[in-house]
């Protein structure tokens, strides 16, 4: 496999259309109707201007990670690499860059959610040394019932 040349940079509001198109191209990816709208993703980026990352290759965005923090913990959302660009270290490099950005902001721990059916993603995080927590349950409460998750076929 030839060495891939990619550029990592901080995600900007203007990246939304290309990042959203990437999300929509990923098999099994879950997109929320309101949280993942253009307005709300741009608001997220404004709130966390230095922690979300994109990977660019061949003149386009081929990877993305939404990353933010609440002053105590960081969280990764929608980590993905286009299927044609996987196995080049892009996902790992994006995660490391996002974690370094969180460290600069004084954040000491990062969380993420991976669907149990996402074998590829779960394997990726385990191989990166992330801890699978068996001692916790994850709960959520929907404040807006119109904010539904739709999974890409």
The residue behind tokens 């966390």 is 48
For position 147, what pLDDT does the model report? Answer: 83
- Higher-confidence residue: 3 or 39? 39
Sequence ranges of the domains in the chain: 7-147
Per DSSP (E only), the strands in 26-148 are 30-32, 53-57, 60-69, 74-81, 110-112
Q: Under DSSP, is residue 26 helix (H, G, I), strand (E, B) or coil?
A: coil
Q: In the predicted model, is pLDDT for residue 75 greater than 70?
A: yes
Q: What is the mean pLDDT of residues 135-143?
A: 87
For position 1, what pLDDT does the model report? Answer: 44
Q: How confident is the model at residue 142 (pLDDT cuts 50, 70, 90)?
A: confident
- Cα torsion 85, 87, 90, 96 to 10°: value is 160
- Helices 38-47 and 16-25 cross at an angle (nearest 10°) of 120
What is the fold of 7-147? Aminopeptidase (3.40.630)
Q: In the predicted model, is pLDDT for residue 140 greater than 60?
A: yes
């Amino acid at each position: 496999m030839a060495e891939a040349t990619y550029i990592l940079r901080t995600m900007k509001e203007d990246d939304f259309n290309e990042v959203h198109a990437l999300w929509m191209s990923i098999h099994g990816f879950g997109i929320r109707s309101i949280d993942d709208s253009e307005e709300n993703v741009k608001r997220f980026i404004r709130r966390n201007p230095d922690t979300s990352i994109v990977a660019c290759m061949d003149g386009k965005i081929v990877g993305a990670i939404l990353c933010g923090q609440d002053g105590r913990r960081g969280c990764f959302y929608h980590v993905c690499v286009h299927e044609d660009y996987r196995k080049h270290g892009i996902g790992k490099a994006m995660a490391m860059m996002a974690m370094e950005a969180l460290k600069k902001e004084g954040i000491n721990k990062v969380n993420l959610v991976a669907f149990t059916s996402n074998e590829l993603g779960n394997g990726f995080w385990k191989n990166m040394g992330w801890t699978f927590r068996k001692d916790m349950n994850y709960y959520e409460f929907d404040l807006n019932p119109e904010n539904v998750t739709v999974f890409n076929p």
